[in-house]
Amino acid sequence: MTLRTLDSLGSLEGKRVIVRCDLNVPLRDGVITDDGRVRASLPTLNALINAGARVVVCSHLGRPDGAPDPQYSLEPVAQRLSELLGKPVAFARDTVGESAKDAVESLENGDVVVIENLRFNPGETSKDDATRAAFAAELAELGDVLVSDGFGVVHRKQASVYDLAEILPSAAGLLIATELDVLDRLTENPERPYAVVLGGSKVSDKLGVISHLLPRVDRILVGGGMLFTFLKAQGHDVASSLLEEDQLDTVRGYIAEAEKRGVELVLPTDVVVAASFSADAAHEITAADAIESTAFGSSGIGLDIGPETAARFAEVIRGSKTVFWNGPMGVFEFPAFANGTKTVAQALTEVDGLSVVGGGDSAAAVRQLGFADDRFGHISTGGGASLEFLEGKKLPGLEVLGWA
């Protein structure tokens, strides 16, 4: 089976098209601090507007626990969408109530409405199939067809992602199609040399990716908080740095497997160690095998890869034809510990081939550090979904669209 795309839906003129986007943007005091996901939804929305559809946009935002919560309202997103589309975007103050029904009823061809946060209804994320299906049935009354374009949620069996696609004629939007094309290039015959850069806090978050990609890549570069579990697995003291003791045997297995397969495992040779986890903490650079010997002793905390490591990582990245990066190299939110992440991001912009930023914290980091999206081959909108795809898992939100 192949993914059903917009073309499979035929003429959409005059049809009510529910578009499941991922507009889960960060907000501070009601202001969007990163509109990357909103901008990523524009190609599909513009295609539907130009086709004369009556567009009903739905999404989740945050974790409001199944009840209305003003801090998670999608109203700021509707306002931003209006600015980006250059046309009025209506906003319904509920999901499937009178406000939503009236707003949809008022749509003309080419009009757009955003309905309120799906997760204000407990049926959206319910583990009970019947509860989820009942909410999906209410959503289905608002539309004639479904376009699923929220890649960041396709790994979730949720009402608007899975159940709704079983009720209405459904297809993937342009964003999902693009994401799958890129991820396919990372797993099927990637151009070599192929390097994967993994960071973030926990090894346990990346276990499946490491297992699935080890037979497929040439080099794996390890940074972020997870690097300390690798160092400990090699017998080095890591002082008070983040450590997953229960993963040490697993990591030792990966180190042995990489050696057996001829995959170069590039681990840090130096790290930035701080006195505490804070932006203005005293810190120093030390060899990766001498973390406990800093002025902070056993209380020292590693918060970034060191400059020597960052330079080595950059060299490997620039020398690769395919690069996938998921997870910051350090605590990039603190300027003193952002150099590793910034150096890796810069190197990805210089790849002569395919460079992919794997969503989540990595996408947030490149934008916060001042890099424009178009400097990379692709920035994924779905960190968790990207990782699960690269783990080889079946994603329910894609299977229901015909992807197999």
How many residues make up the chain in this entry? 404
DSSP symbols for 353-379: SEEEE-SHHHHHHHHHTT--GGGSSEE
Task: Tell me, yes or no, if 367 is annotated catalytic.
Answer: no
- Single-letter amino acid, residue 293: S
Q: How far apart are the first and last CA of the chain?
A: 6
Task: Tell me, yes or no, if 37 is annotated catalytic.
Answer: yes
Among residues 360, 382, 383, 397, which one is catalytic?
360
Is residue 326 part of an annotated ligand binding site? no
Is residue 150 part of an annotated ligand binding site? no
Is residue 298 part of an annotated ligand binding site? no
SS3 140: helix
Q: What are phi and psi of 103, to 5 degrees?
A: -65, -40
Is residue 391 part of an annotated ligand binding site? no
Is residue 237 part of an annotated ligand binding site? no
Among residues 39, 202, 252, 321, which one is catalytic?
202
Contacts of 385 (CB under 8 A, 6+ apart): 151, 152, 153, 154, 155, 179, 359, 395
CA distances to 55, 197, 258, 277, 329 from 267, rounded to whole Å, are 49, 10, 12, 22, 12
Among residues 36, 319, 384, 402, which one is catalytic?
384
Of 144, 52, 60, 43, the closest CA to residue 95 belongs to 60
Task: Tell me, yes or no, if 360 is annotated catalytic.
Answer: yes
Among residues 15, 20, 37, 219, which one is catalytic?
37
Which residues face 324 on adjacent strands? 196, 356
Asked if 338 and 332 touch (Cβ cutoff 8 Å), the reply is yes
Is residue 199 part of an annotated ligand binding site? no
Quick one: 386 exposed, middle or buried, by C-beta within 10 A (0-12, 13-18, 19+)? buried
Is residue 312 part of an annotated ligand binding site? no
Task: Tell me, yes or no, if 101 is annotated catalytic.
Answer: no
Is residue 361 part of an annotated ligand binding site? yes
Is residue 333 part of an annotated ligand binding site? yes
Is residue 22 part of an annotated ligand binding site? yes
Q: What are phi and psi of 319, to 5 degrees?
A: -90, 5
Is residue 156 part of an annotated ligand binding site? yes
Asked if 195 and 221 touch (Cβ cutoff 8 Å), the reply is yes
Is residue 16 part of an annotated ligand binding site? no
Which residues face 325 on adjacent strands? 197, 357
SS3 272: strand
Is residue 37 part of an annotated ligand binding site? yes
25-42 in b/e burial notation, b at 16+ Cβ within 10 A?
Answer: bebeeeebeebbbbebbb
Which residue ranges are tagged as binding site?
Answer: 22-24, 37, 60-63, 119, 156, 206, 302, 333, 359-362
Binding-site residue numbers for substrate are: 22-24, 37, 60-63, 119, 156
Q: Which residues participate in the annotated binding site for ATP? A: 206, 302, 333, 359-362
> Could you give the residue numbers annotated as active site?
37, 202, 360, 384
